[in-house]
Amino acid sequence: MDLTLKVWRQNGPTDQGKMETHSVTGVSPDMSFLEMMDMLNDQIIRAGGDPVAFDHDCREGICGMCSMFINGEAHGPSRGVTTCQLHMRSFKDGDTITIEPWRAAAFPVVKDLAVDRSSFDRVIQAGGYISVNTSGETLDANAIPIPKPQADEAFNAATCIGCGACVATCKNASAMLFVAAKVSQFALLPQGQPERSKRAKRMVEQMDKEGFGNCTNTGACAVECPKGIDLSTIARMNRDYLSATVKED
Amino acid sequence: MLESKIPSGPLADKWTSHKNHINLVNPANKRLIDVIVVGTGLAGSSAAASLAEMGYNVKAFCFQDSPRRAHSIAAQGGINAAKNYQNDGDSVYRLFYDTIKGGDYRSREANVHRLAEVSTSIIDQCVAQGVPFAREYGGLLDNRSFGGVQVSRTFYAKGQTGQQLLLGAYSALSRQISKGKVQMFTRHEMMDVVIVDGKCRGIIARNLITGELERHAAHAVVLASGGYGNVFFLSTNAMGSNVSAAWKAHRKGAFMANPCFTQIHPTCIPVSGEHQSKLTLMSESLRNDGRIWVPARKEDAEAIRKGTLRANDIPEENRDYYLERRYPAFGNLVPRDVASRAAKERCDAGYGVNETGEAVFLDYASAIQRYGKTEANIRGLKNASNEEVTALGKEVVKAKYGNLFDMYKQIAADDPYETPMKIYPAVHYTMGGLWVDYNLMTTVPGLYATGESNFSDHGANRLGASALMQGLADGYFVLPYTIGDYLSNDIRTGAIDANSPEFETAEKSVQDRIDQLINNQGTKPVDDFHRRLGRVMWNQCGMSRSEEGLKQAIADIRALREEFYQDVRIPGTAKGFNPELDKAGRVADFMELGELMCKDALERNESCGGHFREEFQTAEGEALRDDENFAFVSAWEYTGDPSDSNLHKEDLKFENIELKQRSYK
């Protein structure tokens, strides 16, 4: 199929940026969206131009590196997938596709479609862990049984890949779903209890410091999340955060 | 010349006794010592976190935008540990034995035994970190089986075990970053190691956003930079996975061991066309319940390829469950090398089931029926209809493998709950890597290699769910101890000077190489060359190899390399964000490595594990090993041209296991 692409070009965080139009022909419906972008770049390089920069790595929907805002939606029109798992069969011959980077103050543009998400790492560094040394001298793994439904719920929260689609899709550029997923994973496990309050408080504070917006409960984040992280995680985080602030001496 | 430094004493006591006797660095002195870790996958993150926790000053580097994205994240199936929670007779010895046998007797006994010993601590550690492993209804950890073993020792977190383990290691790393004990450098690529007075004393790194070169000095450098499967262009590796860090170390004196030992994974989604940029694995765990088959009659296979016949229309008696037929003892759970070759054999014989003839079926129909009947019994449905049983069976399969089935559906546009999946082998893992001694040190003093980037534990074939085990074993429980032995001599050295002439020279040579690439006025993009290199490697140094093919491949690769330096076009400049330039440097290294792989495969006149030489096979087409002449590790020394590399041999001594022809029949 033949497509017209409107692609965001921006040479660094301070550049103003603009949309640029390209056409690609002979796109196969079996191609992934990123393979279509490879094709575009191959064409641009052979013609002596500057290829479109975009982040990608595993191309199997798990590393969280790819990040494109396609036709106004994070990771494009399909649900439950990242851009790398979006296939061109989701589009029609003759379509015009608009491709933009994640837009958020806390995710400055590196170049074109690639953004800087190190703010997510700093939120995790603020408390997204269980403080245990790596000596291996801990309890036997089966010493604390965890009911399966609870373990499964912790797992579901833990599936967040840190791609940032929740932020990109939120009108306030809020990172609540990302932070809540990590807070929930540990809040649901016995190992996470000792630092539960402190963790929620520190992570939320860091999130605010990074310049992410507030949550107004529209739920768009959960709709666009490629891993289906549930909105209930946000409720859990709010509860933990509130109790942490009340407990504070 | 090669000193493996395997401790003396009985096998089961070697590690404990070694740990008790190696030199320690006291806590106050650790603060005076800097260590660099390159790569933040399981092996790198765990090492960086552990070293920092012990008190060393750590600098960690990754080329991704966050340490959490390293390709360990994509491992699906699980991680082995000799816990014997299932009471099926598992033990440290059995895990050791299975790994040596699975590796076709080409790995070191002492290293493998240590791996099996520490495996149990890994699970304890990860659970303590909050890794959400799958559990049974009683609240205890669940296990499943993987290829090449007859026990259930694989721990898992649905189809995302790698992600959950990496997030565990990443959280430990994040904790140390927050304390300031680890300085994290993301979007940085290691360009070279720096050797001062014969010791590795730092690296030259490139900031991939600004393009600036940076000097980082340290008392020791740990490479945890992963495998080199991307030399084949199409593999299950991430797009950025590369050999460059290991190859740069090789060029500076670190020997490369068994480079031809490559793992071709049997269950991947087949290639769909010329545009393909990477291949996607379907977890080996699917072979627990899925049955692999092709049509027994050639005319049926042809009809399927033409699209006039569907898999479900072929009656049972006309199906060839070739793994169950050839290997009744292990059936669909034979090791990866065996399963891959068997698929290739059927497809080469004309029984392949997609347009290209390079696919076999992985069928869940009978598992759905089996689970459905059990579930109906559990729910007390005495006279459940076929439809009800099927629906219940699909629910169970969905709970176990749902995300894998979804992924298949997304990529192949076909519903695996209704029709069998089509799969074909693809490059997945590289057992070869930098040669290391028992302490995980390469032939360059102070330069270590861990995880997939070293060669030590998997011999000629890796068993499923063992890569995660090795990465974390090396990073959490082995390297942090063994490195102390070396660093204890450095407590009075003081900080390493990054302004020394050695750093100066190394930086200049990196800059020259970048300039050479960026100023090349060619016509073809980097991928053009990478794709062609991959085709040569896959055809001549893939699932089966021959003397003639390998010689041809070496000539082809040399010609391609020459063409690359004449005709590659890299857009943009060396300053600023330029992914094409990053890729060009990596592909240039792959083109040297590929030649060495072919040379290694050519020298090894036997078939073992993933290395199958057509000239050396049994009458039944099984790999024919030659223990008399080839029970050694090939360790290659760089001399300026891959074809002129010097071969050093480390003889493998088997004192606890009897060498046998590997049989899964």
CATH of the domain at A186: 1.10.1060.10
CA distance B97 to B149: 10
Mean pLDDT of A145-150: 97
- Min Cα–Cα distance to chain B from A219, Å: 23
A63/B577 touch (CB, cutoff 8 Å), yes or no: no
Mean pLDDT over the full length of chain B? 96
C-alpha angle with apex A134: A133 to A139, nearest 5 degrees? 80
Strand partners, A19: A8
Question: For chain A, how big is the Rg over CA atoms in Å?
Answer: 20
Answer yes or no: are the C-beta atoms of B282 and B269 closer than 8 Å. Answer: yes
Q: Taking 60 as the threshold, does the pLDDT of residue B665 lie above it?
A: yes
Q: Taking 70 as the threshold, does the pLDDT of residue B120 lie above it?
A: yes
Residues A125 and A66 reside in one and the same domain: no
Q: Which residues of B touch A126 (CB under 8 A)?
A: 178
Band of pLDDT at residue B272, cut at 50, 70 and 90? confident
Mean pLDDT of A123-138: 96
Q: Of A117, A140, A192, which has the smallest distance from its Cβ to B124's Cβ?
A: A140
Residues A25 and A93 reside in one and the same domain: yes
Q: What is the pLDDT of residue B361?
A: 97
Residues A213 and A241 reside in one and the same domain: yes
Fold of the domain spanning B267-426:
Flavocytochrome C3; Chain A, domain 1 (3.90.700)
Q: How far is CA B278 from CA B84, B235, B272, B433, B463, in A?
A: 37, 6, 10, 22, 22
Q: pLDDT tens-digit profile of A70-126?
A: 999 999 999 999 999 999 999 999 999 999 999 999 999 999 999 999 999 999 999
Q: How far is CA A145 from CA A140, B134, B142, B168, in A?
A: 11, 12, 11, 19
Band of pLDDT at residue B255, cut at 50, 70 and 90? very high
Structure tokens at A237: 């985080």
Q: Of B129, B170, B240, which has the smallest distance from its Cβ to A132's Cβ?
A: B129
Residues A87 and A191 reside in one and the same domain: no
CA distance B10 to B656: 9
Judged by a CB distance cut-off of 8 A, whether residue A65 touches chain B is yes
* Beta pairing class for B213-217 and B632-637: unpaired
Count of domains observed in chain A? 2
Closest CA to A220 of A234, A237, A201, A236: A234
With a threshold of 0.95, tell me whether the complex ipTM lies above it.
yes
Strand partners, B93: none
Closest CA to B23 of B385, B342, B439: B439
Q: For chain B, what percent of residues have pLDDT higher than 90?
A: 94
Looking up residue A106, the CATH number of its domain turns out to be: 3.10.20.30
Residues A10 and A88 reside in one and the same domain: yes
Mean pLDDT over the full length of chain A? 97
Residues A103 and A146 reside in one and the same domain: no
What type of residue sits at position A131?
A: S
Q: pLDDT tens-digit profile of B44-71?
A: 999 999 999 999 999 999 999 999 999 9
Structure tokens at A199: 């963790």
Domain end position, chosen among A91, A110, A129: A110
Domain end position, chosen among A68, A90, A110: A110
CATH 1.20.58.100 segments of chain B: 500-625
How many Cβ atoms sit within 10 Å of the Cβ of residue B247?
A: 23
A46 Cβ contact partners less than 8 Å away, ≥ 6 residues apart: B523, B524, B525, B569
Q: Taking 80 as the threshold, does the pLDDT of residue A249 lie above it?
A: no
Judged by a CB distance cut-off of 8 A, whether residue A83 touches chain B is no
Answer yes or no: are the C-beta atoms of A63 and A55 closer than 8 Å. Answer: no
Angle between helices B579-603 and B526-541 (to 10 degrees): 20
CA distance A233 to A225: 13
3-state secondary structure B265-300: EEEECCCCCCCCCCCCECCHHHHHCCEEEEECCHHH
CA distance A145 to B654: 41
Q: pLDDT tens-digit profile of A175-186?
A: 999 999 999 999
Mean pLDDT of A160-172: 98
Under CATH, which number does the domain B500-625 receive? 1.20.58.100
Domain end position, chosen among A110, A139, A159: A110
Residues A63 and A168 reside in one and the same domain: no
Residues A137 and A37 reside in one and the same domain: no
Band of pLDDT at residue B573, cut at 50, 70 and 90? very high
Q: Which residues of B touch A131 (CB under 8 A)?
A: 175
Mean pLDDT of B613-620: 94
Closest CA to A84 of A40, A31, A41: A31
Structure tokens at B398: 């969905």
Judged by a CB distance cut-off of 8 A, whether residue A146 touches chain B is yes
CA distance B280 to B95: 28
Q: Which residues of A touch B135 (CB under 8 A)?
A: 145-148, 151-152
Closest CA to A238 of A210, A209, A215: A215
Q: Taking 90 as the threshold, does the pLDDT of residue B362 lie above it?
A: yes
Structure tokens at A147: 């009911």
Q: How far is CA B453 from CA B184, B243, B336, in A?
A: 20, 8, 20
Mean pLDDT of B164-184: 98
Count CA atoms within 13 Å of residue B575 on its CB side: 0
Closest CA to B235 of B531, B557, B607, B529: B531
What type of residue sits at position A62?
A: I
Q: What is the pLDDT of residue B139?
A: 97
Residues A135 and A219 reside in one and the same domain: yes
More confident residue, B586 or B410: B586
B53 Cβ contact partners less than 8 Å away, ≥ 6 residues apart: A133, A134, B172, B176, B181
Alpha helices per DSSP H over chain A: 33-46, 118-125, 148-158, 165-169, 176-187, 196-209, 220-224, 232-247
CA distance B436 to B413: 44
CA distance B194 to B84: 45
Q: Taking 70 as the threshold, does the pLDDT of residue B130 lie above it?
A: yes
Beta strand extents in B167-237 (DSSP E only) = 182-185, 188-196, 199-207, 213-217, 220-223
Q: Taking 70 as the threshold, does the pLDDT of residue B298 lie above it?
A: yes
Residue with tokens 């994974």: B265
Residues A134 and A229 reside in one and the same domain: yes
Q: Which residues of A touch B480 (CB under 8 A)?
A: 134
- Min Cα–Cα distance to chain B from A86, Å: 8
Q: Taking 90 as the threshold, does the pLDDT of residue B294 lie above it?
A: yes
- Min Cα–Cα distance to chain B from A127, Å: 7
Is residue B163 within a helix (H) or strand (E), and if so which, with residue range? helix B161-178
Judged by a CB distance cut-off of 8 A, whether residue A193 touches chain B is no
Structure tokens at B128: 């303590």
Q: Taking 70 as the threshold, does the pLDDT of residue A248 lie above it?
A: no
A62/B160 touch (CB, cutoff 8 Å), yes or no: yes
Q: What is the pLDDT of residue B148?
A: 86
Q: pLDDT tens-digit profile of A209-218?
A: 999 999 999 9
Residues 17-36 of A with CB under 8 A from B: 28, 30-32, 34-35
Q: Which residues of B touch A79 (CB under 8 A)?
A: none
B10 Cβ contact partners less than 8 Å away, ≥ 6 residues apart: none
Structure tokens at B105: 């007797």
Strand partners, B281: B268
Residues A128 and A221 reside in one and the same domain: yes
CA distance B500 to B171: 36
Residue with tokens 């429980």: B477
Structure tokens at B413: 């546009």
Domain span holding position A144: 118-247
CATH 3.90.700.10 segments of chain B: 267-426
Answer yes or no: are the C-beta atoms of A230 and A156 closer than 8 Å. Answer: yes
- Min Cα–Cα distance to chain A from B661, Å: 36
Cα first-last separation, chain B: 40
CA distance B169 to B53: 13
Q: Of A30, A114, A129, which has the smallest distance from its Cβ to B172's Cβ?
A: A129
Judged by a CB distance cut-off of 8 A, whether residue A1 touches chain B is no
| Residues constituting chain A | 249
Residues A53 and A81 reside in one and the same domain: yes
Q: In what order do the strands lie in the sheet with B262-268?
A: B262-268, B421-430, B360-363, B291-295, B319-320
CA distance A15 to B346: 57
Under DSSP, is residue B156 helix (H, G, I), strand (E, B) or coil?
Answer: coil
CA distance A181 to A128: 10
